[in-house]
Chains A and B, each alone.
Chain A
Amino acid sequence: PGKTKMSLTSSRLVWRCLRSFSTGVKGWDSPNLPKGYVAEPSPVKGETKKMNLVEAIRSGLDIALQTDPTAVVFGEDVAFGGVFRCSVGLQAKYGKSRVFNTPLCEQGILGFGIGLAVHGNTAVAEIQFADYIHPAFDQVVNEAAKYRYRSASLYHCGRLTVRAPYGAVGHGGLYHSQSVESFYAHIPGITVVIPRGPSQAKGLLLSAIRDDNPTFFFEPKALYRAAIEDVPVGDYTLPLSQAEILHEGSNVTVIGYGAQIQPLRQACIVAKEQLGVSCELIDLRTIVPWDEDTIIKSVCKTGRVVIAHEDTFTGGFAGELIATIQAECFLNLEAPIQRVCSWDTPFPLVYEPFCVPSKYRCFEAIKKVVSF
């Protein structure tokens, strides 16, 4: 009462005017900045179809089941299609013995999957949310990761792949937003892969499924429906343990993975427009074993590094990247390495926009590293 209510359009106009007089960046409203997920061209030749991340993953699972008669897909709610629809239609197509629900028990899902893989089947387990994978940690660290080592390869569970949605989704709060890759990166013996989009996801998933090491595949749930691009309909794989340079640059090496690639893309564009900075954006893709050569080569060229991930600062994977980079490229570095991460708190609900490494914080990190 007593306050004049402005329309949303006019209040936005006022805000823009105010901002343009402030020291804030004008570039965030630039028409050059993409709105949402940046679709990429297909990574391999062949017929493609517009798919979102869910459809791309489903296509990968379909091909795995089709090409490998020992392949089995299982997890909570997988039979009806999965809570994120990643397995829709698969039970009808491949039968109840190959696509089925498990009881609600993550330690059981992992243990069962390990046993199935030891038998020689291709076991593709789904954990409903990465936030719920923790009861299975013992099976991962003490069993899956050590199965081959403790038997000198007489037995192994390399045919096990575990998929789980990870990361912020806008409304997930503490238990539907977690990033867990750093827990698993720490364990020798397993592979951890995080795709940035649909066409990457399908190819990396098929590689993970066919790789002879137990692999964890964390899917950025925020992109499940939001990311749409031309995905090859056929069977293809993308290499594990190989980072990818998304665009070459000469001033700053910018490293990220998964959903974080999108805010990093935007930060790089604004950095180019506003600061004239040329960024080399690299998607790590495989968290462990990670592609040290690509990263080190880039840093030796640029001398400046920004790393961003949704996981928290303390103990987040950026620490490992930074430790390696400073050891290998110390004399090439022109500035301290910047990392942009979630604050060291449990993942909050209403504070999410302030907590995550936003494109604005990523841009500020680039600015900091070039003005050292």
Chain B
Amino acid sequence: MASVLVRAVRSCTRLCAAKNWTAHGRSLSSNPGDRGWSGIQYTTDMLAGSSPHKQQVFRPMYQVLDHTGKVLDAAQVPDLSNTQLVKMLELIITVGVMDQQLYKAQRMGLISFYMMSSGEEAVVASAAALAHDDMVFAQYREPIVLYWRGYTIDQVLDQSFGNWLDLAKGRQMPVHFGSKDLHFQFISSPLSTQMPQAPGYAYGIKLSGKKNCVICYFGDGAAQEGDAHAAMNFASTRGCPVIFFCRNNGYAISTPTHDQYAGDGIVSRGPGYGMESIRVDGNDVFAIYNATKHAREVAVNEHRPVLIESMSYRLGSHSTSDDQTGYQDMNIVEQWKREYHPVIRLRNYLVEKGLWDAEREKGLLAAVSDKLKKGLNRARDEPKPHLDYLFEDVHSKLTPRLERQKREMMEHIKEYKDYYPLNQHES
């Protein structure tokens, strides 16, 4: 302790003796590992780097495919196979059909709730850049990532109806999907809670030595929560192989981004955490793919987190409980649908390459529509899970108290069986 103090005093005295304070940039800290001080220079210019608001600089967004489908730099076209590219387009189109039809299904009272991902389907390209077993912590507007990995339309419908086939046994609202086989954590409604969990999971990967990473999706609204800050700080300080992927779609329900933050979006926060950050055009599958691939390499090989901010625009309402016409300019929405929707540029690119045509699209639209119609009827008629499952999975084993409560409930229901929707459940 004494020698530390002595060294600190000595370096202070030497600095005070120097005539030019900017000369050395010597650390005041006697601890060479102390990143807080070392490398920080002295200056007589008080406002150097102080970023006053009126001089705010905005990071540009990375783009490879412009909105017409023209390649801006041939050297940066991703190394995706034709099969993968076509799969991407097919999924984007499929999600478009699902969004329309399941929105209608909710309005008809068939399913209780739904969220569209209209306008943000290009996020599928980030899934293509990951390994199949890279763990996903998502928010809710990234189902296309799960579909890329193999989640079927029937599974979506079973989850939406909460029938006995639902992987989570009907415990959650529609849209709160997940899958163990597809390495996708179950969605939870509170925003950003998944964010500090992602670096924790990633840290476990790091300790295990596996060459995997974690990707964590979140929106521009969720990025304001304390959990978001906690996540990025923990990931950076502990060196966790995690990609933070922010879908900045302009809105959090009705709240536009200018009520959400005053700085340059989310990407500008990266340097605050000592973390690499990239801003991409969220409608450009090639830009998203390249950025995610790069981020994955950094995460896996260097055990450092990377932040990607994907700029897009939410074309639908927040959910079936929201009406965007109350606050969004529908002229802008229509313009985006006509000119900037991710499907336009990818379709143009693939048509140009001879990998796609109008016939194929017509066929796909019909097939998906048919699958949805048949699937809706089937999933609706499947029974809900057995009542026993109400009490399971609270703890690792059923507790004596829960056993007693279950017995009490079953006795009550036996007596009042005509007044409870028993026939909807497996018996």
List chain A positions with a Cβ less than 8 A from chain B: 70, 72, 97-98, 100, 102-103, 105, 107-108, 110-121, 123, 135, 138-139, 142-143, 146, 148-156, 158, 188-189, 191, 211-213, 241, 289, 292-293
Task: Tell which of A123, A142, A189 touches B200, judged by Cβ atoms closer than 8 Å.
Answer: A123
Given contacts A151-B186, A153-B393, contact A116 B201 (CB under 8 A): yes
A112-B203, A151-B178 known; 14 new pairs, CB 8 Å cut-off, are: A98-B207, A107-B226, A115-B196, A115-B197, A115-B198, A115-B199, A116-B203, A119-B204, A120-B204, A143-B197, A149-B171, A151-B186, A152-B393, A241-B399
Q: Report the separation of the CA atoms of residues A158 and B396 in the bound assembly, to the nearest whole angstrom.
A: 8
Report the nearest B residue to A189, measured CB to CB: B394
Report the nearest A residue to B395, measured CB to CB: A213
- B403 CB to closest chain A CB (Å) equals 11
Report the nearest A residue to B168, measured CB to CB: A152
Query: Across the interface, do B205 and A119 meet the contact criterion of CB distance under 8 Å?
Result: yes
Query: Across the interface, do B230 and A107 meet the contact criterion of CB distance under 8 Å?
Result: yes
Q: Could you give 6 example pairs across A and B, Cβ below 8 Å?
A: A112-B199, A115-B199, A115-B204, A150-B171, A152-B392, A154-B178
Task: Tell which of B137, B206, B238 touches A100, judged by Cβ atoms closer than 8 Å.
Answer: B238
Query: Across the interface, do A107 and B227 meet the contact criterion of CB distance under 8 Å?
Result: yes
Query: Across the interface, do B168 and A142 meet the contact criterion of CB distance under 8 Å?
Result: no
Task: Tell which of B208, B389, B396 touches A148, judged by Cβ atoms closer than 8 Å.
Answer: B396
Q: Report the separation of the CA atoms of residues A289 and B231 in the bound assembly, to the nearest whole angstrom.
A: 31
Query: Across the interface, do A149 and B196 meet the contact criterion of CB distance under 8 Å?
Result: no
Given contacts A103-B237, A155-B178, contact A116 B200 (CB under 8 A): yes
Whether B280 sits at the interface, judged by CB under 8 Å, is: no
Q: Report the separation of the CA atoms of residues A216 and B207 in the bound assembly, to the nearest whole angstrom.
A: 24
B176 cross-chain contacts in A, Cβ below 8 A: 150
Task: Tell which of B135, B186, B200, B229 touches A112, judged by Cβ atoms closer than 8 Å.
Answer: B200
Q: Report the separation of the CA atoms of residues A123 and B203 in the bound assembly, to the nearest whole angstrom.
A: 11
- Looking at A70, A102, A111, A154, the one whose CB has the most chain B CB atoms below 10 A away is A111
Given contacts A103-B237, A116-B200, A149-B171, contact A121 B207 (CB under 8 A): yes
Q: Report the separation of the CA atoms of residues A107 and B195 in the bound assembly, to the nearest whole angstrom.
A: 11
Given contacts A112-B234, A114-B197, contact A154 B203 (CB under 8 A): no
A102 cross-chain contacts in B, Cβ below 8 A: 234, 237-238
Q: Report the separation of the CA atoms of residues A292 and B227 in the bound assembly, to the nearest whole angstrom.
A: 37
Task: Tell which of B168, B231, B400 touches A151, judged by Cβ atoms closer than 8 Å.
Answer: B168
Q: Report the separation of the CA atoms of residues A195 and B197 in the bound assembly, to the nearest whole angstrom.
A: 29
B171 cross-chain contacts in A, Cβ below 8 A: 149-150, 152
A191 cross-chain contacts in B, Cβ below 8 A: 395
Report the nearest A residue to B178, measured CB to CB: A151
Q: Report the separation of the CA atoms of residues A241 and B395 in the bound assembly, to the nearest whole angstrom.
A: 12
Q: Report the separation of the CA atoms of residues A103 and B205 in the bound assembly, to the nearest whole angstrom.
A: 20
Query: Across the interface, do A212 and B207 meet the contact criterion of CB distance under 8 Å?
Result: no
Query: Across the interface, do B168 and A150 meet the contact criterion of CB distance under 8 Å?
Result: yes
Query: Across the interface, do A142 and B204 meet the contact criterion of CB distance under 8 Å?
Result: no
A148 cross-chain contacts in B, Cβ below 8 A: 393-396
Whether B71 sits at the interface, judged by CB under 8 Å, is: no
Q: Report the separation of the CA atoms of residues A143 and B392 in the bound assembly, to the nearest whole angstrom.
A: 17
Given contacts A115-B200, A142-B193, contact A108 B169 (CB under 8 A): no
Q: Report the separation of the CA atoms of residues A146 and B186 in the bound assembly, to the nearest whole angstrom.
A: 11
Query: Across the interface, do A108 and B203 meet the contact criterion of CB distance under 8 Å?
Result: no
Report the nearest A residue to B180, measured CB to CB: A154
How many residues in B have their beta carbons less than 8 Å from beta carbons of A?
48
How would residues 171 to 194 of chain B score, 1 for a CB under 8 Å from any chain A CB and 0 otherwise?
A: 110001011100001101010010
Query: Across the interface, do B193 and A212 meet the contact criterion of CB distance under 8 Å?
Result: no
- Looking at A151, A153, A212, the one whose CB has the most chain B CB atoms below 10 A away is A151
Residues of chain B from 219 to 260 with CB closer than 8 A to chain A in the complex? 226-227, 229-231, 233-234, 237-238
Q: Report the separation of the CA atoms of residues A146 and B208 in the bound assembly, to the nearest whole angstrom.
A: 26
Q: Report the separation of the CA atoms of residues A152 and B167 in the bound assembly, to the nearest whole angstrom.
A: 7
Report the nearest B residue to A151, measured CB to CB: B186
A105 cross-chain contacts in B, Cβ below 8 A: 229-230, 233-234
Whether B401 sits at the interface, judged by CB under 8 Å, is: yes
Q: Report the separation of the CA atoms of residues A153 and B392 in the bound assembly, to the nearest whole angstrom.
A: 9
Query: Across the interface, do B172 and A150 meet the contact criterion of CB distance under 8 Å?
Result: yes
A293 cross-chain contacts in B, Cβ below 8 A: 400
Whether B122 sits at the interface, judged by CB under 8 Å, is: no
Q: Report the separation of the CA atoms of residues A103 and B36 in the bound assembly, to the nearest whole angstrom.
A: 14
Query: Across the interface, do A154 and B186 meet the contact criterion of CB distance under 8 Å?
Result: yes
B389 cross-chain contacts in A, Cβ below 8 A: 152
Whether B202 sits at the interface, judged by CB under 8 Å, is: yes
Q: Report the separation of the CA atoms of residues A151 and B201 in the bound assembly, to the nearest whole angstrom.
A: 17
- B176 CB to closest chain A CB (Å) equals 7
Report the nearest B residue to A97, measured CB to CB: B207
Query: Across the interface, do A111 and B178 meet the contact criterion of CB distance under 8 Å?
Result: no
Given contacts A103-B237, A121-B204, A155-B186, contact A149 B193 (CB under 8 A): no
- A328 CB to closest chain B CB (Å) equals 10
- B389 CB to closest chain A CB (Å) equals 8
B399 cross-chain contacts in A, Cβ below 8 A: 241, 289
B168 cross-chain contacts in A, Cβ below 8 A: 150-152, 154
Q: Report the separation of the CA atoms of residues A135 and B401 in the bound assembly, to the nearest whole angstrom.
A: 30
Query: Across the interface, do B230 and A118 meet the contact criterion of CB distance under 8 Å?
Result: no
The 3 nearest A-B residue pairs measured at CB: A115-B200, A111-B196, A119-B204
Query: Across the interface, do A135 and B226 meet the contact criterion of CB distance under 8 Å?
Result: yes
A151 cross-chain contacts in B, Cβ below 8 A: 167-168, 178, 180, 185-186
Query: Across the interface, do B188 and A150 meet the contact criterion of CB distance under 8 Å?
Result: yes
- B28 CB to closest chain A CB (Å) equals 22
Query: Across the interface, do A139 and B178 meet the contact criterion of CB distance under 8 Å?
Result: no
- A102 CB to closest chain B CB (Å) equals 7
Report the nearest A residue to B237, measured CB to CB: A103
Q: Report the separation of the CA atoms of residues A223 and B205 in the bound assembly, to the nearest whole angstrom.
A: 38
Q: Report the separation of the CA atoms of residues A191 and B396 in the bound assembly, to the nearest whole angstrom.
A: 11
Q: Report the separation of the CA atoms of residues A74 and B161 in the bound assembly, to the nearest whole angstrom.
A: 41
Q: Report the separation of the CA atoms of residues A342 and B400 in the bound assembly, to the nearest whole angstrom.
A: 30
Given contacts A103-B233, A151-B178, A152-B167, contact A289 B393 (CB under 8 A): no
Q: Report the separation of the CA atoms of residues A241 and B401 in the bound assembly, to the nearest whole angstrom.
A: 11
Q: Report the separation of the CA atoms of residues A292 and B179 in the bound assembly, to the nearest whole angstrom.
A: 37
A112 cross-chain contacts in B, Cβ below 8 A: 196-197, 199-200, 203, 230, 234, 238
Q: Report the separation of the CA atoms of residues A265 and B208 in the bound assembly, to the nearest whole angstrom.
A: 48
Query: Across the interface, do B234 and A108 meet the contact criterion of CB distance under 8 Å?
Result: yes
Query: Across the interface, do A292 and B190 meet the contact criterion of CB distance under 8 Å?
Result: no
B237 cross-chain contacts in A, Cβ below 8 A: 102-103
Query: Across the interface, do A115 and B233 meet the contact criterion of CB distance under 8 Å?
Result: no
Q: Report the separation of the CA atoms of residues A135 and B195 in the bound assembly, to the nearest whole angstrom.
A: 15
B208 cross-chain contacts in A, Cβ below 8 A: 119
Task: Tell which of A107, A120, A146, A189 touches B188, judged by Cβ atoms closer than 8 Å.
Answer: A146
Query: Across the interface, do B200 and A139 meet the contact criterion of CB distance under 8 Å?
Result: no
B204 cross-chain contacts in A, Cβ below 8 A: 70, 115-116, 119-121
Q: Report the separation of the CA atoms of residues A58 and B179 in the bound assembly, to the nearest whole angstrom.
A: 38
- A334 CB to closest chain B CB (Å) equals 25
Report the nearest B residue to A106, measured CB to CB: B230
Query: Across the interface, do A152 and B169 meet the contact criterion of CB distance under 8 Å?
Result: yes
Report the nearest B residue to A148, measured CB to CB: B393
Query: Across the interface, do B201 and A119 meet the contact criterion of CB distance under 8 Å?
Result: yes
Query: Across the interface, do B394 and A115 meet the contact criterion of CB distance under 8 Å?
Result: no
B230 cross-chain contacts in A, Cβ below 8 A: 103, 105, 107-108, 111-112
- A188 CB to closest chain B CB (Å) equals 5
